[in-house]
A and B are shown apart, each in its own frame.
Chain A
Amino acid sequence: MEELLAEVVSVLVTVVEACGAAVIIIGAVWAFVRFVYAGLRERSTSAFVPVRLTLGRFLALGLEFQLASDVLRTAVAPSFRELGQLAAVAAIRTALNYFLGKEIAEERRQVAEEHERGRAVPDPTDLARGRTV
């Protein structure tokens, strides 16, 4: 019974890890295409920010899958040594996820601030035409 459980958990761990890897790979490929597109077509720094935010979300989601696989692994960890290793890796992944989340929130705040500032500053072309905002 225990062997069957170990096998099932092993398959589940592989599936969940594959999902996490797929999310990260898709996010990285999408972001690469968008970065190149933004660089060649739009040529402005503001075009890169939404892409970076979305890539951060992809990475956070991939990390969640990796953490889920760590949690699944603890179900069949046989020795305290392996359990300790798993705990250390899971702690580091949790820290990575935490900092990634903080970075996403920080960048989102900056985007909102810049958006507000952009709205407050009048458009120079409007000023040249003698209009006020």
Chain B
Amino acid sequence: MLEQVAGTASSAVVGAALVAALVALATTRHPPLAIGVLLDLLVAAGLLRLVGNPSWQAVVTAGVILVLRRLVGAGFRAARRSWSGGGEGPGRRPAARRRLELLDRLVRPAWRL
């Protein structure tokens, strides 16, 4: 009984996560925030699936969502730091461009000019 209620609530929370993420994306035009909102509510849905005697799949899914949330958060933070200069002054973007050019030269096949 409790597991059925939790399962139904979990599905409803997944739907709510999609709606909330779409609202966040449409109103703020800020994808990292929308993904954060989506993953927050998906964690709630995953935890609801852990009620009762959860299957290994449910436990692993909840863990994967949490890991994904951390990875996405860390990725967006790193991206924001690199684009905002990260406190290194205005020379940061040209240095990044130089690094990209060097990488491009290194991976370009020798027969291509």
Residues of A at the B interface (CB closer than 8 Å) are: 14, 17-18, 20-21, 24-25, 27-29, 31-32, 35-36, 39-40, 43-45, 48, 52, 55-56, 58-59, 62-63, 66, 89, 92-93, 95-96, 99-100, 103
State whether B37 touches A21 (Cβ < 8 A).
no
B50 / chain A contacts, CB cutoff of 8 Å? 66, 89, 93
Least CB distance, A92 to chain B, in whole angstroms = 5
Chain A interface mostly: helix
Least CB distance, A22 to chain B, in whole angstroms = 10
From the candidates B2, B9, B19, B30, name the one contacting A45 in the complex (CB within 8 A): B30
From the candidates A18, A43, A62, A99, name the one contacting B66 in the complex (CB within 8 A): A99
State whether A28 touches B24 (Cβ < 8 A).
no
From the candidates B28, B40, B59, name the one contacting A89 in the complex (CB within 8 A): B59
Least CB distance, B52 to chain A, in whole angstroms = 7
Give the A-B contact count at a CB cut-off of 8 A. 97
Least CB distance, B101 to chain A, in whole angstroms = 33
Closest to A20 in B: B51
From the candidates A25, A40, A59, A66, name the one contacting B43 in the complex (CB within 8 A): A59
A44 / chain B contacts, CB cutoff of 8 Å? 28
From the candidates A18, A43, A92, name the one contacting B63 in the complex (CB within 8 A): A92
